[in-house]
Amino acid sequence: MIRYGRAFLGFWSDFLIGDRLELFIGPIVALLGAGLLVRAGLPGAIIGSLLFVALGLVGAFSVGLAARR
């Protein structure tokens, strides 16, 4: 039973995270930040633009890490 549970969790870890942890955590952090900005009352256009920029920075950071290796 434990073997199946470990295999199940291993599959989801490989599927969601793979080998790029920053591409899993970065968008989650960006969405949480956008949610905080929504609660603060900022206009949606500004939040959408900031979210777009944040996700672009996450992608650029990931490419930079991959290029360094």
pLDDT single digits (tens) 14-47: 998 888 999 999 999 999 999 999 999 999 999 9
Domain chopping of the chain, boundaries: 19-68
pLDDT, residue 69, reads: 81
For residue 40, the tally of other CB atoms under 10 A from its CB is: 8
Q: How far apart are CA 11 and CA 13, in angstroms?
A: 5
Residue 60 pLDDT exceeds 90: yes
pLDDT, residue 64, reads: 95
pLDDT, residue 19, reads: 83
Q: How far apart are CA 13 and CA 35, in angstroms?
A: 25
Say which residues have a Cβ less than 8 Å from residue 61's Cβ, sequence separation at least 6: 22, 26
Say which residues have a Cβ less than 8 Å from residue 34's Cβ, sequence separation at least 6: 47, 50, 51, 54
pLDDT, residue 32, reads: 97
Share of the chain above pLDDT 70, in %: 100
